Amino acid sequence: MTIIIQILVFILVAFSTILVVGIPVTLASPGQWEQSKNLIYTGAGIWAILVIITGVFNSFIA
């Protein structure tokens, strides 16, 4: 079970890094907000689900 938590945390950190770099670049580019709005909202939703799943799995260990 510990390996699952480690994998989930790694995925969460990697995805967070991608979002931290990608969202400001998208917002700073002229005209990109209209094209990338759905992608940004989807990424934020996936990130929130990853946080919840990681928390649920972590509650089984502690």
Give residue-wise pLDDT tens across range 16-62: 999 999 999 988 988 888 888 999 999 999 999 999 999 999 998 86
Write b or e for each residue in 4-41: b if 16 or more Cβ atoms lie within 10 A of its Cβ, otherwise e: eeeebeeeeeeeeeeeeeeeeebeeeeeeeeebeeebe
Query: Whole-model pTM?
Result: 0.85
